[in-house]
Amino acid sequence: MNYFSGQKTSPIKGLSENFLKDENTLVNELLEQANPGFKARAEIKELAVKLVKNVRSQIKDMDGVDAFMKEYDLSSKEGIVLMCMAEALLRIPDKGTAEKLIKDKLLDGDWKSHMGKSDSTFVNASTWGLMLTGKIIHIDEDKKGLSKIFDKLLNKTGEPVVRKGIYQAMKVMGRQFVMGRTIDEALKRSQTKKHRDYRFSFDMLGEAALTQADADRYQKAYLDAVSVIAKYNAKKKIEAAATISIKLSALHPRYEIANVKRVLKELVPRVKQIVDLAASLNMAVTVDAEEADRLELSLLVFEQVYSQCPTDYNGFGLVVQAFQKRASAVIDFLVLLNDKYGHKIPLRLVKGAYWDTEIKRAQEQGLEDYPVFTRKVNTDISYLACATTLLKNRDKFYPQFATHNANTVAAVRVMAGDNVGYEFQRLHGMGQALHRQTIDPKGLDVPCRVYAPVGSHEDLLPYLVRRLLENGANTSFVNRLVDLELDIDDITQDPIEVVRSHSNHRHPQISLPMDIYLPKRNNSQGINLADLQTFNNLQEKLENFKLQKITCTPLIPRYKGESTSQEVYSPADSNYLVGTNIFAKAEDAELALKNASKS
């Protein structure tokens, strides 16, 4: 059975067809859609250069993560040590191993060379946290001033402070990413002078629910947050008011395609309860994007809740990841939903996160191709193609363009033609210098919303490390933007020109999942059960197989089948009769032995 409005196949053929589509074929299709024309591309280039120059002129005033990226090149020795260690710490359950790891890795970092080089309190505070650990290990160095006091204190404390020191450094960095420990704290901070020109979307930090108790706790947190946020929204229009982002995996402990019936039965009412409360308070709710395996399942949930929204409510939206090959097909699907039900959809368009995980998962599963693009610039083309559709359909969508890339900002502004009916978005703690220009009435004069995580330090570290890893890489625009050694023309290259220069749109260093072990052997082939059409076909075959009852008899020539029999039921389902087992008799065993002796 298929679940998209009871249809036999997905309502948008592209959802299934594009899941693992050949990258060369798909990119060529998207290029045509993403190309705004030669004149517009020249305007985009000019605006992008202007934006980058303005950002670089403000480097001394940078704070938060922008300053951290400038000071700690995460491709440097210190940067690599910091990030590798932070992510490794997430997986180490015992204190002893954590201490050994930190001691081993921090010996390689020249942390002292970074002290005092940045005007940002954030960077220096983080450096002190890292130097605390280094100083415990190198207590024989010259001691002066504050450093001497630290040495004496830490010498008394012992090596366990190593572990605490690096965690403290992570927490200091986390303050730049997390708006507050509670929704009240985050809302108060959003009202300060530094933030009052921005709109906000609050995200309650946390991992996926593993138990029903987890799901209950997250739902209560979402409902409480909606009630609190609404008080701050006053009488703002829904587009300008603060919103909340929700993760479907946090609201159900078995949020996976194999449990589609149960998920739709149990999760839809939970999401509807949150959306109904938000609708009554004139507040928008956005469903966050998750792994590619869960995309179609999220659309099933979205469709069922969306179809039941109040008539005049235009605040239930979702996130689309441009790095997925199905991104444009998802938007086509949402156009059909809007045609059917009429509610305008707030849609946050992002490049995508956890790309490496999607690549590895496809390889582990032995899929025929990848669900994501293998070149970053192909994702840029996908983003522009999706943006084109959204901007042409502002009567159906309220587009929200989440990006820290000056090229993308420039492209959206030029393609939009005006500043009405859409907004930009950025992560809290990142992209301030760029987006000051988007909200400036003398600049682009387009609203910008801050995606603001809310949560405790316990929930912070996984989020923090991933954000730094994603935006600290050499290929990250955030990193390249503040690297003054890079020429502006190089970082504002037209992605359409770059893609056209490739004879092969697939990345030459990333083999297809089936080819990763060549020339020795092929990878073992798997079934893409995350594709609803494939999943439905397999289920249908399994149901047909169930109708066939198996009879097992002794494998003996001339066996007459006159023995006793026993019905066999599935150990997984005691109501399912698999078949019948017919046992051999003593004379059957003698016959088998005679046959064996003759052979």
Greatest pairwise CA separation for the chain in angstroms: 99
Instruction: Write the CB contacts of 239 (distance below 8 Å, at least 6 apart in sequence).
Output: 284, 346, 398, 423, 447
User: DSSP string covering 531-565, please?
Assistant: SHHHHHHHHHHHHHHHHSPEEE----TT----S-E
What's the chain's length in residues? 599
Separation of alpha carbons 499 and 179, rounded Å: 38
Separation of alpha carbons 556 and 588, rounded Å: 8
The per-residue pLDDT string of the chain (599 residues; one tens digit each, 9 = 90 and over) reads 444 544 444 455 678 999 999 999 999 999 999 999 999 999 999 999 999 999 888 776 666 556 665 565 555 566 556 656 665 666 677 777 877 776 676 556 666 666 666 665 445 545 544 544 444 334 334 444 444 544 444 454 444 554 565 665 556 556 667 888 899 999 999 988 888 899 999 999 887 899 999 999 999 999 999 999 999 887 889 999 999 999 999 999 999 998 999 999 999 999 999 999 999 999 999 999 999 999 999 999 999 999 999 989 999 999 999 999 999 999 999 999 999 999 999 999 999 988 988 999 999 999 999 999 999 999 999 999 999 999 999 999 999 999 999 999 999 999 999 999 999 999 988 888 899 999 999 999 999 999 999 987 666 666 666 666 565 544 565 566 767 778 899 889 999 999 999 999 999 999 999 999 999 999 999 999 999 888 888 989 988 988 888 888 887 776 666 667 889 999 988 989 999 988 888 877 888 888 888 87
Question: What are the beta bridge partners of residue 346?
Answer: 398
User: DSSP string covering 281-344, please?
Assistant: TT--EEEPP--GGGHHHHHHHHHHHHTTS-TT---EEEEEETTBTTHHHHHHHHHHHHHHH---
Name the one residue in this structure whose structure tokens are 């996984």.
462
Q: Say if residue 519 is preceded by a cis peptide, omega within 30 of 0.
A: yes
424 — phi, psi (to 5°)?
A: -100, 160
End-to-end CA distance of the chain: 51
Separation of alpha carbons 467 and 427, rounded Å: 9
120 within 8 A of 67, measured Cβ to Cβ: yes
Q: Within a 10 A sphere around the Cβ of 57, how many other Cβ atoms?
A: 10
Strand order in the sheet with 550-552: 550-552, 577-582, 565-569
Q: Within a 10 A sphere around the Cβ of 60, how many other Cβ atoms?
A: 9
What is the CA angle 523-525-530, rounded to 5?
Answer: 125
Domains delineated in the chain: 13-57+179-454+485-515 (3.20.20.220), 66-172 (no CATH), 549-598 (no CATH)
Q: Minimal CA–CA distance to 425: which of 264, 593, 201?
A: 201
Separation of alpha carbons 565 and 561, rounded Å: 10
Q: Within a 10 A sphere around the Cβ of 183, how many other Cβ atoms?
A: 23
